[in-house]
Structure 1
Amino acid sequence: MNPVTRFTTVSKTSFLKLFIGLIALLCFMPGAASAAPPITSKIRKDISKTMDAEKRTQNLKAEWKDESRDLADQLEQLEEEAATLKKELKKLTLRLSLEKRKHAENLRREKETGRIKNELTGFLDRVLSTLEANIAVDLPFLTQERKARIVALKEMMVDPEESPAEKFRRVFEALQIEAEYGTTVEVTQETITLDGKEIIVDLFRLGRVSLLCQSLDQKKSAAYDPGTGSWQALPDTVNRDLSRAIAMARLERSIELVELPLGRLQK
């Protein structure tokens, strides 16, 4: 207890005892009996007031102690919460710094991806244009199929929903197909113009080296001349070997040597 508070409490108690003693002394003094009732009544009122004040003071002190204790507990709790929040703030600050670095890295990657995407798109467009030009001057085989593939690729290249990886895959798939034409032998039936007439023929393709054809009755044979862009009739002596070559390409005949006109035709 505070010395001043203790002194005040002791002083008030001593004063109260002294005051009560004086009252008792006055009661036993000569002539006090006649005046006792009014004096005693007044004193009792004063004593009652003093005791009430003392009681209120004690109650206030008790309430203040309780409130002080509660405030101390609240302060301790707030300090603990402040320490916890400080730790959380430090964590959040570090996390924010990390997220900022990640965001910056994502922006850099996005920018780099956009640059690569634009360069890849330009490259694929050039490849597709070159492929289309080569088909236009190549031997006329599977013409509709090859042109349809080019059209589909062009539509895909302008489709925003197609990924760059898919565009790359399909363009190079077309390149691979075209490259394989140079190493394969194939027979298809098509309609050509020969000597001013349209006839259905067996079209025999030997890689990209030569493109020959023979009528279904095997009586007429012709070779495609890239120089003139037209079909040139071949001698009847070619019919037998070409017929055999067509059968071998269809796996209808065992492999054997045959003589066929290859390369550019001589006039």
Structure 2
Amino acid sequence: MKHKLIAISVLCAVPASAGADSLQDVVREGESWLSAQQASQERVDALAAQTEDAEAEYRRLLRQIEGLEAYNAQVRKQVKAQEVEIARTEDSIAKATEVDRQLLPLLISMVDAYADLVAVSIPYLPDERRERIAFLRDTVDRADVSAAEKFRQVLDAYLAELSYGNTIEAYTDTIRTEDGEREVNVLRLGRIGLFYQTADRAHTGRWNQEAGRWEPLGSEFRNGIYQAIRVANKLTAPSLLIVPLPAPKPADASSAKAGYGSDLLNVAGDAS
């Protein structure tokens, strides 16, 4: 009320000639003041909004920092665990290298022993066993094959050789007899008997391990060998057959007399 009275007093004090101009100036000043106040308020509102945005960004950054600190702590744990694993792996590699150095001579010795075993046994599947020995020697010498794989291959060869002892098998082959080369059916009975018979059954024989050669058999064994070949080829049921097998030797081989006897053999796909 006082402001209004003062304004009226001022207006009353203004001469009439200048009243209109002065009033317009006062109005313009008031409008300017209001505009300035409005602009000032807008700046204040803008600053308040910026402050709120800055505070929200600050809180967001704080949460992000907390998350990063937790993540870094987890990463440090993982790095420490990886360092332990790396040390363990390096130790394993060092031990594996030492094992490799010790295993290689053993593998070479095992391959040589396998080759000696093949050389002194009856000559069944000669090409297959010869190729297996060559493959083993090549595998053991290769640098791009791990020691574990080399050992597995050598062990597989021994297992394959072991399986021959309790199986029978028939296959075709060309052998050299006293009458020259013949295309024959070869019968293997485990690791103790090796026989042949021509397709027309006119010639039947066996491998004489003592003499190291094929020798003919009498006609009394023709049907037995023929039936055994059929059993091996799964063309007939197992039956009791008569085939010549090596005579058992006593423990002291030097005092034994080598020979063969006509023994009854149950050819059931199993011979050792």
TM-score by length of 2: 0.59
- Bigger shift: 99-108 or 197-206? 99-108
* 1:266 equivalent among 242, 246, 259: 259
Residues 46-95 of structure 1 show CA distances to partners (whole Å, capped at 9, x for unaligned) of: xxxxxxxxxxxxxxxxxxxxxxxxxxxxxxxxxxxxxxxxx9xxx99999
Q: CA RMSD in A?
A: 2.8
Amino acid at match of 2:186: L
Separation in structure 2 between the aligned mates of residue 261 and residue 111 of structure 1, nearest angstrom: 56
What is the Cα deviation at residue 103 of structure 1? 5.6
Alignment-derived partner of residue 6 in structure 1: none
Separation in structure 2 between the aligned mates of residue 97 and residue 183 of structure 1, nearest angstrom: 56
2:246 and 2:259 in contact (8 A); partners too: no
* 2:207 equivalent among 218, 221, 224: 224
Closer, same or farther: CA 224–108 of 1 in aligned 2, 3 Å = same
What is the Cα deviation at residue 97 of structure 1? 8.3
State the identity as a percent.
Answer: 25
Separation in structure 1 between the aligned mates of residue 163 and residue 85 of structure 2, nearest angstrom: 46
List gaps (5 residues or longer) in structure 2: 1-68, 248-257, 261-272
SS of residue matched to 2:242: coil
TM-score by length of 1: 0.60
List gaps (5 residues or longer) in structure 1: 1-86
Alignment-derived partner of residue 41 in structure 1: none
Alignment-derived partner of residue 111 in structure 1: 94
User: How do 1:127-166 residues align onto structure 2 when only pairs under 5 Å count?
Assistant: 127-166=110-149
SS of residue matched to 2:97: helix
SS of residue matched to 1:113: helix
Closer, same or farther: CA 105–213 of 1 in aligned 2, 3 Å = same
SS of residue matched to 1:262: strand
Separation in structure 2 between the aligned mates of residue 122 and residue 170 of structure 1, nearest angstrom: 15
1:204 matches 2:197: no
Closer, same or farther: CA 226–100 of 1 in aligned 2, 3 Å = same
Separation in structure 2 between the aligned mates of residue 96 and residue 256 of structure 1, nearest angstrom: 70
Between the two structures, name the one with larger relative contact order (CA 8 Å, sep ≥ 6).
2
Amino acid at match of 1:193: R
User: How do 1:33-72 residues align onto structure 2 when only pairs under 5 Å count?
Assistant: none
* 1:121 equivalent among 97, 104, 108: 104
SS of residue matched to 1:150: helix
2:107 and 2:151 in contact (8 A); partners too: yes
Alignment-derived partner of residue 24 in structure 2: none
* 1:172 equivalent among 145, 155, 172: 155
Amino acid at match of 2:259: Q
User: Which has the larger strand fraction?
Assistant: 2
User: How do 1:23-38 residues align onto structure 2 when only pairs under 5 Å count?
Assistant: none
